[in-house]
Structure 1
Amino acid sequence: MYPRDQMINVNIKGVLYSIASVLPTMREQQSGHIINISSLMGHKVIPNTAVYSATKFAVRAISEGLRQEESPSSHIRITNISPDMTDTGILSEYQNYPSISPYSVARSIAFAINEPEDT
């Protein structure tokens, strides 16, 4: 499998399969919160990141479409978080690029979860 195929499988198909696995239950209970992680690269493209940026833009589009389709009728909350380069240790070739802590991303997720449903 080519790296771009794996990127598409994880970043797009993984999001879609995850949503599909929880959506029926959330619809039935008329509540839930789906949090997707996109990336700043889903907002901008820099050289050598076209496929990655495309997958993260897709996550944004999926999140926004789902929010419009589900939130009014089923009260399911949809949040998309788009962090900048995060220091996960995976992309060693970008080690000189400023990055944020994974804990910053986790705090963003916790913040979204703890917001009242009416916001």
Structure 2
Amino acid sequence: MDLIGKTAIITGASSGIGKGIAKHLSDVGVNVVLAARNKEKLAGVAEEINQSMQGKALAVETDVSNKEDMDVLIKQARNTFGKVDIFVNNAGQMLHSRVQDGHVDEWEKMIDVNIKGVLYGIHGVLPEMLERKSGHIINIASVSGHEVTKVSTVYSATKFAVRAISMGLEKELARTGVRVTNISPGKVDTDLASASQSSDRKPLHTDDIAKSVIYAVSQPDYVNVNEITVRPV
């Protein structure tokens, strides 16, 4: 599928998996709108893409847990590039997750970013995608949304929720032309990587997750890749 000239929004794009996804998409000609809270890092990623990639980049400082910020992000993307073809819900928080430790403030941050942020993004782009009968929503979940450890209870709950949203949305949108893909990475070599995950395997690179996004969005428009799990060997 020809991706040149399409537009993608990527949340959490200032570093890690989000940055990798943005660079891979722009390398195949997709215009990318980069969203994150760190304005300086975001600007650096945008400059790198604009200087060396096929696609163009726009940086928009965004807190995904704030619905007004998400609305502004999507409006700026449309004003700059015309429409949003791909929305990548990548921003995430991995904080203290043991229930007995009682870190309620950190649970709330994870719920706000990992669940509400995903829903706000979908809510903002979906009506126009449905009207065009075309579009692709990519939700970055986690293998923690498949398996729970004794130290991942709340984080895993948020990633189970992302998978549930993806599964339900895919059924809601069947035969509408709008596709949904849930991607669950294992341990990736990023700042977000949890020390609680097994260290006896070589971590994945951010490029490994970015390539799975390219695979999903480059399929023919009658093919919907619903679920991808990427783990270290």
Q: TM-score, normalised by structure 1?
A: 0.91
Contact kept, 8 Å, 1:42 with 1:57, in 2: the verdict is: yes
Aligned position for 2:186: 84
Q: In the aligned structure 2, how far is the partner of 1:107 from the partner of 1:2?
A: 34
Q: In the aligned structure 1, how far is the partner of 2:191 from the partner of 2:152?
A: 18
Aligned position for 1:56: 159
The structure whose RCO (Cα within 8 Å, separation 6+) is larger is 1
Higher helix proportion, which one?
A: 1
Matched, 1:115 2:204: no
Contact kept, 8 Å, 1:71 with 1:78, in 2: the verdict is: no
Q: In the aligned structure 1, how far is the partner of 2:177 from the partner of 2:111?
A: 29
Matched, 1:103 2:207: yes
Contact kept, 8 Å, 2:118 with 2:162, in 1: the verdict is: yes
Specify whether residues 24 and 47 from structure 1 end up closer, same or farther in structure 2 by C-alpha distance, changes over 3 A only: same
Aligned residue pair count: 118
Instruction: List structure 1 runs of 4+ shifted beyond 4 angstroms.
Output: none
Could you list the runs of 5+ residues in structure 2 that have no partner in the other structure?
A: 1-103, 224-233
Specify whether residues 92 and 67 from structure 1 end up closer, same or farther in structure 2 by C-alpha distance, changes over 3 A only: closer
Larger Rg, first or second structure (1 or 2)? 2
Higher strand proportion, which one?
A: 2
Specify whether residues 95 and 12 from structure 1 end up closer, same or farther in structure 2 by C-alpha distance, changes over 3 A only: closer
Q: TM-score, normalised by structure 2?
A: 0.48
Letter in 2 for 1:51: V
Q: In the aligned structure 1, how far is the partner of 2:163 from the partner of 2:171?
A: 12
SS at match of 2:111: helix
Root-mean-square deviation over aligned CA pairs? 1.7
The percent identity for this pair of structures is: 48
By how many angstroms is 1:91 displaced?
4.0
**Larger CA deviation: 101-110 vs 81-90:** 81-90
